[in-house]
């Protein structure tokens, strides 16, 4: 009984948003980096973006990694970077849109952190991603349909996150406050 109680306490402590890393998951354009930076600042803790960390580790930009080594190799590097970051002290971590799709990476996030799905509708996502280039998965015919298909495929997996917060099409501080409210932090 005592060991069960210790395990329960360890589990609840590991998932206390006031004590552990907060991982933002969701599809490209959901606002993980923008919201994450502001959330970390509000909480007074470090912010890391797994995409930035992958680029540093590979000494090349993500589109270059995709072009030279393919998506599979990118995902391998992404997994390794996320594993390393989850062993560091508490932070807000924004992940790439596909990171949570990897079962082993997702399991690690759920064991070591609190996961928050930033959810947005297709039109909001499309407005955001169409402003920026450099999205390798959208370098295809009819990129909006590609985004819609990715969203349909990924939403059931994103729904496995500990929390779901709508990323509104407005000032990022609104979504930051929604995350803080959901996590009670």
Please enumerate, by residue number, every residue annotated as part of a binding site for ATP: 29-34, 135
Distance CA 185, CA 182 (A): 8
Residues annotated within a binding site: 29-34, 51, 75, 97, 135, 154
CA angle 119/75/114 to nearest 5° reads 45
Angstrom distances, CA of residue 175 to CA of 6, 34, 93, 131, 167: 35, 10, 16, 20, 5
Number of other residues whose CB lies within 10 A of the CB of residue 7: 10
Residues annotated within a binding site for Mg(2+): 33
The residue to which tokens 């499309």 are assigned: 126
């Amino acid at each position: 009984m005592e060991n069960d109680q210790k395990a329960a306490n360890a589990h609840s402590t590991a998932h206390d948003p006031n004590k552990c890393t907060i991982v933002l998951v969701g599809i490209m354009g959901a606002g993980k980096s923008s919201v994450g930076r502001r959330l970390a600042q509000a909480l007074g803790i470090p912010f890391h973006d797994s995409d930035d960390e992958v680029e540093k580790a590979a000494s090349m930009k993500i589109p270059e990694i995709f072009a030279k080594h393919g998506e599979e190799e990118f995902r391998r590097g992404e997994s390794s970077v996320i594993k390393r970051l989850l062993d560091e002290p508490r932070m807000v971590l924004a992940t790439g849109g596909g990171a949570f799709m990897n079962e082993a990476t997702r399991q690690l996030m759920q064991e070591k952190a609190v996961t928050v799905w930033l959810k947005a509708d297709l039109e909001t996502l499309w407005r955001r991603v169409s402003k920026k280039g450099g999205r390798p998965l959208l370098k295809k015919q009819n990129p909006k349909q590609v985004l819609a298909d990715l969203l349909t495929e990924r939403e059931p997996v994103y729904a496995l996150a500990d929390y779901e917060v709508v990323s509104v099409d407005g000032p990022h501080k609104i979504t930051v406050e929604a995350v803080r409210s959901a996590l009670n932090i």
